[in-house]
């Protein structure tokens, strides 16, 4: 008997505004399935729904609750792109390859929207439009970025002058920026549940509280996934375990490192005071290395995200995040009170790109989505499910990033933290020169 215990959802605004009470049982038997997906975050669920949509027999197991990890705790920004920026990607793999990856991201973003519509998933309000604002006054570099995105990647970004930005973000911290009309925001945990419901409606099976402990090769091909309460015999297996993969697969474990990041949600703010600070429903992020990202919630709260750490969640997280908010909007002093503050773990590879591929025939991985994962998890689910069901080869576009090199072992989080401090130091220097 294992002493494994299922973790409930951590306390978040999303948990408390979840529109379903549905819980799924743990596996309690030995079963056969064609494909076993391990991990019930958006990587696993997107893979599973891609498979059920293609009439494949699939079983998904989740150690805790579906969306228990980053997928149910994020900022809810559905924005095209990868954790690695496009300009850097061009340096890594060239312009043509970057264009193909970008095309996948455009498709991934539409796929989320189409599924919300097709399955009538109640994960709103879905508000179209994300605004990237500059912390410093360099309009030429904003314009250069927009030109690059429009010309090379066909992204319809719009330039916003300082006056236009400050008309909606009433702060002297920001200068000009760009508006991305096709990105949007939603309630990620309600989306997670909507996907899960529809996987099951299409014949897929989902077990919560069911941790994969070991994957064994079968002598006749295929695999056996061992859990504390039963075995799953399958032809193919897809690992979507993010940073929690641990000893289930040591290659994946050592090819990535964990980083924590944080969100705070305020109590509702009187509307007139909120409008005098943040007078837009667009989701906002700034262009610093260590950026803030935030948005208004329907009941006049602010969801405020930012910061990274490797040493877990600070005890005074709510105060730290409130301080960050007040640095940008000092006029909210006295009306901002934190209601929720939480952290979540991200999975990073040194190249900041997803790790998607096959370790051996029928043994897939779809993981490592860093801090910009909502669209890329949908891309990963799409290419892996299409590869399994239709022998589609688009997943090979991620081959330059799927070598699973050693990412630094126990030292890697500290390297990441040092890089973050370096970023903050750079931001401070830039700020001094404002």
Ligand X SMILES: Cc1cc2nc3c(=O)[nH]c(=O)nc-3n(C[C@H](O)[C@H](O)[C@H](O)COP(=O)(O)OP(=O)(O)OC[C@H]3O[C@@H](n4cnc5c(N)ncnc54)[C@H](O)[C@@H]3O)c2cc1C
Return residues touching ligand X (CB under 6 A): 38-44, 61-64, 68-71, 73-77, 211-212, 240-242, 244-245, 248, 261-263, 305, 344, 346, 367, 369-374, 377
Cα 258 from chain centroid (whole Å): 14
296 or 372, CB closer to ligand X?
A: 372
Smallest distance, ligand X to C-beta of residue 351, A: 15
Query: Whole-number minimum distance, CB 302 to ligand X, in Å?
Result: 14
| Nearer Cβ to ligand X (46/386) | 46
Instruction: Please classify residue 5 by burial: count the beta carbons closer than 10 Å to its beta carbon, then call 0-12 exposed, 13-18 middle and 19+ buried.
Output: exposed
Closest approach of ligand X to the CB of residue 299, in Å: 19
Residue 331 CB, shortest distance to ligand X, in Å, is 25
Q: How far is the CB of 75 from ligand X (least distance, A)?
A: 3
Q: Closer CB to ligand X, residue 40 or residue 132?
A: 40
Distance CA 249, CA 241 (A): 10
Residue 166 or 398: the one with the smaller Cβ distance to ligand X is: 398
Give dist(CA 265, CA 315) in Å, integer. 16
Check: CB of residue 386 under 8 Å from CB of residue 54: yes
**Dist. CA 134–CA 115, nearest whole Å:** 33
Minimum distance, C-beta of residue 368 to ligand X, in the bound complex (Å)? 7
Taking the complex as a whole, the smallest distance from the CB of residue 242 to ligand X amounts, in Å, to 3
Contact between residue 345 and residue 258 where contact means Cβ atoms under 8 Å apart? yes
Which residue sits closest to ligand X, CB atoms considered?
373
Separation CA 67–CA 373 (nearest Å):
13
Nearer to ligand X by Cβ, of 134 and 185: the residue is 185
Residue closer to ligand X (CB basis): 24 or 166 = 24
Which residues lie below 8 Å from residue 146, measured CB to CB, with a gap of 6+? Answer: 157, 158, 159, 178
Could you write out the three-class secondary structure of 136-175? Answer: CCCHHHHHHHHHHHHHHHCCCCEEECHHHHHHHECCCCCC
118 CB-near residues (< 8 Å, 6+ apart) = none
Looking at beta carbons only, is 69 or 222 nearer to ligand X? 69
- Alpha-carbon distance of 37 to 431, in angstroms, equals 46
């Amino acid at each position: 008997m294992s002493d494994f215990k299922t973790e409930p959802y951590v306390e978040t605004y999303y948990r408390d505004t979840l529109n379903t009470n549905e819980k799924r049982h743990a596996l309690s038997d030995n079963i056969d399935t064609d494909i076993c997906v391990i991990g019930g975050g958006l990587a696993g669920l997107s893979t599973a729904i891609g498979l059920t949509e293609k009439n494949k027999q699939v079983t998904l197991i989740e150690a805790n609750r579906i969306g228990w990890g980053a997928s149910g705790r994020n900022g809810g920004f559905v924005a095209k792109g990868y954790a690695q920026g496009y300009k850097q990607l061009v340096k890594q793999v060239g312009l043509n390859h970057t264009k193909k990856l970008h095309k996948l991201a455009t498709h991934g973003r539409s796929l989320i929207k189409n599924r919300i519509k097709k399955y009538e998933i109640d994960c709103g309000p879905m508000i179209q439009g994300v605004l990237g604002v500059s912390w410093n006054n360099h309009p030429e570099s904003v314009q250069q970025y927009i030109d690059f995105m429009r010309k090379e990647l066909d992204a319809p970004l719009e330039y916003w002058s300082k006056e236009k930005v400050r008309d909606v973000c009433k702060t002297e911290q920001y200068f000009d920026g760009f508006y991305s009309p096709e990105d949007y925001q939603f309630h990620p945990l309600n989306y997670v549940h909507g996907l899960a419901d529809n996987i099951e409606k299409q014949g897929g099976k989902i077990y919560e509280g069911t941790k994969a402990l070991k994957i064994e090769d079968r002598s006749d091909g295929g695999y056996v996934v061992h859990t504390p309460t039963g075995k799953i015999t399958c032809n193919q297996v897809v690992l979507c375990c993010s940073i929690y993969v641990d000893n289930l697969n040591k290659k994946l474990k050592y090819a990535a490192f964990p980083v924590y990041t944080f969100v705070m949600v305020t109590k509702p703010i009187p509307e007139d005071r909120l409008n005098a600070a943040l007078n837009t429903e667009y989701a906002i992020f700034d262009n610093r290395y260590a950026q803030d990202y935030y948005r208004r919630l329907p009941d006049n709260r602010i969801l405020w995200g930012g910061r990274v750490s490797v040493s877990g969640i600070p005890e005074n997280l709510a105060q730290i995040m409130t301080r960050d908010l007040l640095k940008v909007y000092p006029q909210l002093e006295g009306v901002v009170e934190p209601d929720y503050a939480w952290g979540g773990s991200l999975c990073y590879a040194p190249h900041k790109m997803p790790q998607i591929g096959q370790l051996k025939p029928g043994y897939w991985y779809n993981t490592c989505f860093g801090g910009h994962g909502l669209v890329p998890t949908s891309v990963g689910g799409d290419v892996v499910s299409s590869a399994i069901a239709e022998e589609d080869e688009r997943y090979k576009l991620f081959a330059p990033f799927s070598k699973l090199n050693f990412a630094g072992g126990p030292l890697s989080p500290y390297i990441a933290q040092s890089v973050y401090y370096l970023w903050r130091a750079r931001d401070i220097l830039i700020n001094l020169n404002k």
